[in-house]
Structure 1
């Protein structure tokens, strides 16, 4: 039996950031692992760094020309990291993309995001505000998928099962182990139509604690500081609102294995 044609789209998680070096992105990561495990007859990765929900329309037109059997998608993380974050926009743009994708026979798999662990290094109010953004993104993604025949995988649950080792040093992207956990979940969700034909290869060795701490000090903290200049006004408003309404419910976010 000829393997499925697989197309990946969305943001840096689907591009493969966190699994392999930069020159390999596009051919590594959870989506590439799914294609390999299913014996794909063709694999194209259209994902790119920085993609937001509003950017999906441009990718959809390219996906349609490839006539895939399977489409793999992550989106929403970059929306949560922007000062002009709008959950309604995420929902509308994602729904439009999913509606177009499911107008063909392609099977679409969407992975929701987990809270961005890098912000857990910052004051608790900021971390909680960012966790609420992650929850808002996931609610938007689920609502967008609700009217379509799309498989939605809960990224936070998958990561919580794997623990801290599921996270890349940057605490934003999956580690090699995290990418493999996402791939395994996606392969399982597609098994009824496309059974696995090859094993998912084992990940590379996890970096030492010293290496992780060095990376965070050298790259992670400066990135968070730079991004906070964009986010800070909205995050501060969220924190102030929370203080004024202490009975507001906090988002449910798995904490097992949080790095």
Structure 2
């Protein structure tokens, strides 16, 4: 027995599971993987995943946190802020205040709370320009975690996630291997053990022709970055009109 009989996952595309394909047309992701491990330890374990891609921290706090509080689970994961930090003029201090209030409410409901820092963006051509803003927010996350007695998953220190082989073609979402690594780290933080290891040592890669790299970068701009910018300019999100994939606490039997 793990001590966790119910788990509610909150957040955006990272927690929804993009781009880790599931077996039923939805995405699996690190949260589903952790829930499956918890279900192995307790057949009566129940799981809900309220995360929806593209959501900002204010939207998650407004819509997902109250639902989680009402469910009164043993464990709640909360990972948000990445979509906010990618926007010009984002304020990590204001975001941290919003996060702190949500964590306070979740902890008051009796739930144990799992928080996350993000991956160090220094190897990402566009996001590395905002590395200082990311770092400030994640320092706040560390402080909030300590203040409210939360468990913390530090992705910033996971060197294996800095390799592009842990990411999908859009360079914004982890692939199956990236989600597997995060799930292994979460299991370690929760003290539940798993068959996986998050300390990934990738084999050396062949040197990439700079001309090929430039063509790949231009293709990424056309297929991924451009559409993302257009959605933001139009005030749209990839998660508009989407519902959570697991809106209620249910067992994983038959999944």
TM-score scaled by structure 1? Answer: 0.70
Q: 1:64 aligns with which of 53, 69, 75?
A: 69
1:137 paired residue number: 137
Check whether the contact 2:65–2:106 (CA below 8 A) recurs between aligned residues: yes
Q: Does 1:45 align with 2:46?
A: no
The separation in 2 between residues aligned to 1:16 and 1:70, in whole angstroms, is 18
User: Runs of 4 or more off by more than 6 Å in structure 1?
Assistant: 227-230
Say which SS state the counterpart of residue 163 (structure 2) adopts: helix
The separation in 2 between residues aligned to 1:223 and 1:161, in whole angstroms, is 25
RMSD: 3.2
Say which SS state the counterpart of residue 20 (structure 1) adopts: coil
In the alignment, structure 1 segments of 5+ residues that lack a partner are 201-208, 231-259
Q: How many residues of Structure 1 are paired with residues of Structure 2 in the alignment?
A: 211
Q: Does 1:164 align with 2:164?
A: yes
The separation in 1 between residues aligned to 2:105 and 2:232, in whole angstroms, is 35
Say which SS state the counterpart of residue 158 (structure 2) adopts: helix
Report the alpha carbon displacement of residue 217 of structure 1 after superposing the two structures with TM: 5.3
Question: Is the helix fraction higher in 1 or 2?
Answer: 1
Report the alpha carbon displacement of residue 227 of structure 1 after superposing the two structures with TM: 7.3
The separation in 2 between residues aligned to 1:78 and 1:118, in whole angstroms, is 18
Which structure 2 residues correspond to residues 114-129 of structure 1 after superposition, within 5 A? 114-116=119-121, 119-120=124-125, 122=126, 127-129=127-129
Report the alpha carbon displacement of residue 114 of structure 1 after superposing the two structures with TM: 1.8
The separation in 1 between residues aligned to 2:120 and 2:231, in whole angstroms, is 16
Report the alpha carbon displacement of residue 17 of structure 1 after superposing the two structures with TM: 0.9
